[in-house]
Amino acid sequence: MQTIYEAAGGTQGLSRLATAWHGRVLADEIVSHPFSHGVRSDHVERLAAYWAEALGGPAAYTERYGDETSVVRLHSCTEPHEEMDRRAIDCFDQALDDVGPTDPVRQVLHDYFAWATTTSLARYHGAQEKVPDGMGIPRWSWTGIAGSI
């Protein structure tokens, strides 16, 4: 069976999606706030590598940038922000419109991003020091979470 990574167009497809999402986020008055102090020049590349690994592709994110612990710590520096999360998901759905994957890939990508935004990355809001060391990037399958953290 084809992985979600493959069905989404592999590294190139996820890079296009990351570029489209990032552009939409920066244009959104609420979701752009975390980027208001600057954006890493390799943010889109890192994001695409992270999604690729989570969706069944190569482990390039872990090999180059770090593990899930570093990602969750980065996203744990604030209190919950439901409106920002909802708008980030809306930006993701609009980015899906921009790059054009169709169902069932589109729905699976939406479900993954919504889960990652509201569950995986939101587990330790305001508590970076409680994020455990050594967490692996969660794997997402056609039916949902496939691997433990």
CATH assignment of the domain containing 81: 1.10.490.10
By the 8 A CB rule, do 5 and 52 touch? yes
Tell me the residue type at 42: D
By the 8 A CB rule, do 120 and 54 touch? no
Q: Specify the pLDDT at position 147.
A: 66
By the 8 A CB rule, do 97 and 34 touch? no
Total domains in the fold of the chain: 1
By the 8 A CB rule, do 79 and 126 touch? yes
Over residues 50-76, the pLDDT tens digits come to: 999 999 999 999 999 999 999 988 877
Which residues constitute the domain of residue 114? Answer: 4-145
pTM of the model: 0.92
Residue 148's pLDDT band, with cuts at 50, 70 and 90, is: low
